[in-house]
Every structure is written in C-alpha cells, then in structure tokens.
C-alpha cells in the first residue's frame, strides 16, 4: 500500500520541530484543544452503538453477536449496481456523457467506509492508485504470467492467496 505515509511523516516531523521551538504556539493549541477534548469525552466514544436488538430488516442482533459487512459482496449486489454487477465495468463510474464521474453515494461503496467515519486518506489513496495505474499503463504492456492459481485469501482485506506475478514490457513510443 502506498498511502500518504511518507508525506505525512515528513510533514509531521517538520511541524513537531517547529512546535518544539515555539512553546507559545503549543500553549495556544492546547488551550483551544482542551474544551474540544472535554466535550468529546462528555459525548462519548466515536464508535456507533445500537441498543435495539431488532434491525430494520427484522434480523435480531444481541450483545456479543459479531456483525461483518462484506464490502466484496456489497460490490456485487444487483440491486445496487445493476445486472452487470459481476462484470469488470469501469464505465459504471462515469456519467452518461462519459465526461464526468458519476455521483455514487459513499454508503454504496464502503471500501473507504462512509459518512463521518470515512477514511481521511481516501482522496490521497485514490490519487496514488490512479497515478500508479496511469504511469504503468502508459509506459508498459502489463501481462499476467500464465499458470498461476489466482484465488482470493479471505480476510478483512481481500488479498490474493498466492500473490500475482506480472510481466512488464516497455512500450515502444
């Protein structure tokens, strides 16, 4: 995973270096954070809690039950994505004129969670993936090496059980 780890780490290093040399700014920050932190503690944890044992679907959920949302399954629901839900169709993200991205509510695509708990790194992660994909596709022909057993490895993050070996061939331009 690329994420923004290096950028964030570098920026935080410089910020903490500056703060260490400016204790007056640290005091201002602490004074502003104090009432915010107190209010958050008063409101409770940010983890959502549901006290009703019956969900809108009619299913009963009791204390100690484990609930798992399968993002993999949600991405293949015909009621959400249409009859071609099992097809690789990047065009589904485009508007009818193919010139803009289609608005897709975040609750339909939970890879980055949704609502106020959405992943803060979503935009950075998407940008990095687009950059890597665009660069690789522009500069190389990418081929999957034949004879591999391509199987999912069930876990929270759906990885390939045996990894994936590809061949890159520099494009003639």
Q: Where are the domains of the chain?
A: 1-47, 68-119, 120-173
Please give the mean pLDDT across all residues of the chain.
72
Q: Is the pLDDT of residue 3 over 50?
A: no
Distance, in Å, from the CA atom of 92 to the CA atom of 89, rounded to the nearest integer, reads 6
Q: What is the pLDDT of residue 138?
A: 81
The residue whose two tokens read 């169709």 is 89
C-alpha dihedral, 43 to 47 to 53 to 57, nearest 10°: 120
Q: Is 17 annotated as a binding residue?
A: no
pLDDT, one tens digit per residue, over 44-95 is 444 455 567 777 788 888 888 887 777 778 888 898 888 988 887 777 877 8
């Amino acid at each position: 995973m690329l994420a923004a780890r290096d950028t964030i780490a570098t920026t935080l290093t410089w910020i903490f270096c500056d703060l260490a040399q400016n204790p007056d700014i640290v005091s201002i920050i602490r004074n502003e954070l104090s009432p915010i932190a107190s209010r958050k503690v008063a409101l409770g944890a940010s983890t959502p809690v549901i006290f009703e044992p019956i969900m809108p679907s009619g299913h009963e959920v009791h204390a100690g039950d484990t609930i798992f949302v399968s993002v993999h399954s949600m991405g293949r629901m015909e009621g959400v994505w249409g009859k071609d839900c099992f097809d690789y169709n990047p065009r589904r993200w485009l508007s009818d004129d193919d010139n803009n991205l289609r608005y897709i509510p975040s609750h339909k695509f939970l890879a980055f969670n949704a609502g106020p708990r959405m992943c803060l790194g979503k935009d950075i992660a998407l940008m990095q993936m687009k950059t890597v994909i665009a660069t690789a596709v522009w500069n190389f022909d990418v081929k999957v090496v034949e004879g591999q057993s391509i199987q999912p490895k069930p876990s929270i993050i759906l990885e390939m059980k045996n990894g994936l070996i590809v061949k890159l061939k520099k494009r003639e331009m």
